[in-house]
């Protein structure tokens, strides 16, 4: 029984999901697909990256009422205009796109630990 539990733990540990599974190329391809499933996936992915990095790497003004569509359009335009770097992970590319538009003026120093 202990061996079975150990095998299951190892199997589950090796299948941990990471945000880096999506490249700019694959995300851009999904952006071109007009099916509802792909559109919803793209909007969810872009929103997740936007939310995860907000006020850390990009700081949109609080008074601006952004929509998911606008944020997705920004991501699409960035990927479209930068085909040479689309092989990089999508989360890093989107982070850079959002930072270019909404840089954080007074970014606090990062703790090196």
- Judged by DSSP in three states, 69 sits in helix
Of the chain, the percentage scoring pLDDT greater than 70 comes to 74
Of the chain, the percentage scoring pLDDT greater than 90 comes to 55
Confidence of residue 110 (pLDDT cuts 50, 70, 90): low
Q: What is the pLDDT of residue 46?
A: 95
Question: 79, 86 in Cβ contact below 8 A?
Answer: yes
pLDDT digits (tens, 9 = 90+) for 88-109: 999 999 999 999 999 988 655 5
H-helix or E-strand spanning residue 94? helix 90-101
How many residues are listed for the chain in this entry?
113
Q: What is the pLDDT of residue 60?
A: 86
Mean of per-residue pLDDT scores for the chain: 81
Rounded mean pLDDT of 32-53? Answer: 92
Q: What is the reported pTM?
A: 0.72
Q: What is the pLDDT of residue 72?
A: 95
Please check the confidence at residue 40 and state whether its pLDDT lies above 90.
Answer: yes
Which residue is it, tokens 């003004």?
Answer: 61
Residue 53 tokens read as 């990095």
Q: Quick one: fold of 19-101?
A: 10k-s Protein, Hypothetical Protein A; Chain A (1.10.890)
């Amino acid at each position: 029984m202990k061996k079975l539990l150990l095998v299951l733990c190892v199997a589950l540990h090796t299948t941990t999901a990471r945000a880096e599974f999506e490249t700019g190329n694959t995300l851009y391809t999904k952006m071109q697909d007009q099916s509802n499933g792909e559109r919803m996936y793209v909007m969810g992915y872009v929103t997740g990256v936007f939310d995860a990095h907000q006020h850390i790497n990009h700081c949109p003004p609080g008074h601006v009422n952004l929509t998911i569509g606008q944020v997705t359009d920004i991501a699409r335009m960035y990927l479209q205009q930068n085909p040479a770097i689309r092989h990089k992970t999508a989360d890093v590319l989107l982070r850079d796109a959002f930072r270019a538009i909404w840089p954080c003026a007074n970014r606090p120093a990062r703790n090196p630990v």
